[in-house]
Amino acid sequence: MKSFNWDPNLFVNSEVVQEDVVWYDASEKPFCVYGFDRGEKDLFSCRIPEGIAKDIRPGILGMRAYAAGGRIRFGTDSSYILIRAEYGNGNVPSICSCCLTHGFDLYCCDMQGHERFCHLFRVPSLFDQESFTSLYKRRDKSETAYYTLNFPCFSEVSKLYIGLQKGSILTQGIDYINAKPVVFYGSSLTHGAAASRPGNTYTAFISQKYNLNYVNLGFAGNAKGDELMAKYIAGKEMSAFVCEYDHNAKSVEELRNTHYHFYEVFREYQKDVPFIMMSRPSFHHNPEGIGKMRSIIKESYEKAKANGDKNVYFIDGETLFEGDYVLSCTSDGVHPNDLGFYRMAKGISQVLEDILKISGGVV
């Protein structure tokens, strides 16, 4: 292979040594873990228990521990933050970067919990290892700062350790404003493909703006509106539910056979939780075909409203990418890039603001 003088900033040094480091298990207090079903203590990034996932479909079982939407929050005055991650199964879809599939990104929180990006913990570009270590050095070392660390979207995280300077403060992070999370269920769009990194998915954008806790139940290619999935989701406590999965329906008929039934099953257990139905946003690439799918979702919404549900909402995906560069909001005509996810977040936020009576902070 021919050798090039590459920019050294493009390489990752995973052999980080700090002589005064103290390592902490991120699954233990005072770290606060969000986005996971903590029922299985031996698997950090579990989103759905194995016993439930295997009864839904094989694809859900295979991705149940992909860490999409997982976060930890903490505070420290350490002059640096090290992370050491150990992985289980994972995948690097061709549309996704290693930064999204296996990387972690770090945000600094103000006292209201609104987040600003400060560092990306990158894995080697050809990811072929079971663990990695990475370092972030603070510029301002004088006071305790509060952080959110986002987990990768397409890999299982078996263990995570946080390394801090010996003698530094370690405390719990900023609380989210909602005691019950917003739950998102859907296709690869909700899963996070193809954002550049975990904090640029639409679910993360919304959380950063409003300091909202959330759960990401996106399962690329496997969100089929299964009845057992509806029952599992309906058993969780939540402040609102967002549902999108028409990308994963093989046909209009398949979507018609599942969509309203999924809503009905959910409503058997959750009578009053706001239920947001959303159609896919990549409308402009195939208006006729996608329009038929959208019609099914809108029919579900109108039927629910006609039956007296005053807490059901519809987001028309056609409106989400509107504006300049509307055809540049995806990586491949289907999966949103960072621009597409940002515009999705803006459109969904308008509905969540009214439902949850929240006001936006900074992104």
Residue type, 317: G
pLDDT category at 133 given cuts 50, 70, 90 is confident
Q: For residue 5, what pLDDT is reported?
A: 60
Q: What pLDDT, on the 0 to 100 scale, is given for residue 287?
A: 74
pLDDT band at 295 (very low <50, low <70, confident <90, very high): very high
| Cα 274 to chain centroid, rounded | 20
Task: Provide the pLDDT confidence category of residue 363 given band limits of 50, 70 and 90.
Answer: very low
pLDDT mean across residues, the chain: 92
Quick: pLDDT tens for 216-230: 999 999 999 999 999
126, HSE (Cβ side, Cα atoms, 13 Å): 0
Average pLDDT over residues 299-313: 98
Global pTM exceeds 0.75? yes
Q: What's the mean pLDDT in 338-343?
A: 98
By the 8 A CB rule, do 42 and 138 touch?
A: no
Beta carbons of 294 and 245 less than 8 angstroms apart? no
In the chain, the N- to C-terminal Cα span, in Å, equals 42
- C-alpha 23/C-alpha 108 separation (Å) is 20
Reply yes or no on whether the pLDDT at 316 is more than 70: yes
What are 29's two structure tokens? 């207090």
pLDDT at 351 over 50: yes
Q: What percent of the chain has pLDDT over 90?
A: 80
* 5: number of Cβ within 10 Å: 5
Q: What domains can you pick out in the chain, each with its CATH number?
A: 17-172 (2.60.120.260), 182-356 (3.40.50.1110)
Cα–Cα separations (whole angstroms), residue 156 to 32, 59, 86, 260? 18, 14, 9, 32
To the nearest 10°, the Cα dihedral for 295, 186, 221, 101?
Answer: 140
**Residue 324 confidence (pLDDT) above 90:** yes
Residue 1, pLDDT above cutoff 50 = no
The percentage of residues in the chain with a pLDDT greater than 70, rounded to a whole number, is: 92
Cβ atoms of residues 90 and 66 within 8 Å: yes
Q: What is the pLDDT of residues 246-285, one digit of tens each?
A: 999 999 999 999 999 999 999 999 999 999 999 999 877 7
Q: pLDDT tens across 2-53, in order? A: 555 666 666 666 667 788 999 999 999 999 999 999 766 667 999 999 999 9
Whether the pLDDT of residue 362 is over 60: the answer is: no
Give the number of other CB atoms < 10 A from CB of residue 324. 6
Q: How confident is the model at residue 189 (pLDDT cuts 50, 70, 90)?
A: very high
- Cα–Cα distance between 288 and 286 in angstroms, integer? 6
Please check the confidence at residue 326 and state whether its pLDDT lies above 50.
Answer: yes
Alpha carbons 40 and 46: distance in angstroms, whole number: 7
